[in-house]
Amino acid sequence: MGYYNPIMQFGFERFAEQAVASGIDGLIVPDLPPEEAGALYKAATARGLDVIFLLAPTSDVQRVQTVTALSGGFVYLVSLVGVTGARESLPPDLADFVARVRAVTEKPLAVGFGIATPEQAAQVAQIADGVIVGSALVKAVGSAEHPAEAARAFTAALRAAI
C-alpha cells in the first residue's frame, strides 16, 4: 500500500489552484531540481506561486545562475553538504557561499539546514536575508508537553537573537 498523492491523482494545475485558494504563496520541493520541475513549475508560476529551488555549497557557477534565475521569492541556500539536522557549529565557508550567490542575484537569500540555536540564527542573519530553522523546531515541539508554547518560546528566542 502506497501513500496518498493528490498531485498525481488530480494534476499539477488543480494542485496549484488549490494551493493559491488556500493562501499559499510559494512551494519548496527539496528534491526537485529545476531540470525536472517542468509541469509543476509551469502550473505554479502560471497561478502566481513562487517555486523556490535549493542551492548547495557545491553548486558551480552555471547551477547558481540557473537556480537564481528560476527561483521565485527567494533562493534557498543549503548551508552544508549532507543531511539536515542540528550541528554544533556553522560551516566555516558559509559566508563565502552566500557571497558567491549574492554576486549573481539580487533576490533575497535564505539559509537553512543545520541551524539549531539562536546564536547560529544570529550568525546567519548577519550574512543572509533569511534564516530557515526546521529540524530544531520540530525537535523542540515534538518533545514538549505543550507543543504550541514550545514553538512560541523557541521562535521567540530565535527572533530575539536575530
The whole-number pLDDT of residue 2 equals 63
Cell 521562535 appears where? Answer: 155
- CA 84/CA 31 separation, integer angstroms: 13
Among residues 9, 29, 51, which one ends one of the domains?
Answer: 51
Same-domain status, 59 and 45? no
Same domain, yes or no: 6 and 60:
no
Phi first, then psi, for residue 51 (nearest 5°) are -115, 120
Q: Which domain holds residue 116?
A: 53-161
Q: Which of 139, 100, 133, 98 is nearest to 115 (CA)?
A: 133
pTM: 0.87
Chunked into runs of 10 residues, the chain (162 residues) has average pLDDT values of: 66 93 95 94 97 97 97 95 65 95 98 93 97 92 91 96 95
Same domain, 84 and 147: yes
Please tell me the distance from the alpha carbon of residue 51 to that of residue 45, in angstroms, as a whole number.
7
Of 53, 3, 47, the closest CA to residue 22 belongs to: 47
Is 19 in the same domain as 82?
no
Same domain, 84 and 100: yes
If asked whether residues 45 and 118 sit together in one domain, one would say no
Pair 35, 79 in one domain = no
Enter the C-alpha cell of residue 27. Answer: 512551494
Residues 6+ apart with CB under 8 A from 33: 53
User: At 28, is the secondary structure helix, strand, or coil?
Assistant: strand
Does 47 share its domain with 65?
Answer: no
Q: How far apart are CA 150 and CA 155, in angstroms?
A: 8
What confidence tens digit (pLDDT) does each residue in 45-79 have? 999 999 999 999 999 999 999 999 999 999 999 99
26 and 72 part of one domain: no
CATH of the domain at 118: 3.20.20.70
C-alpha cell at 38: 517542468
Report how many domains make up the chain: 2
Same domain, 80 and 146: yes
Contact 49, 20 (CB under 8 A): yes
Cell 537556480: give the residue. 67
Report the distance separating Cα 63 and Cα 84, nearest Å. Answer: 21
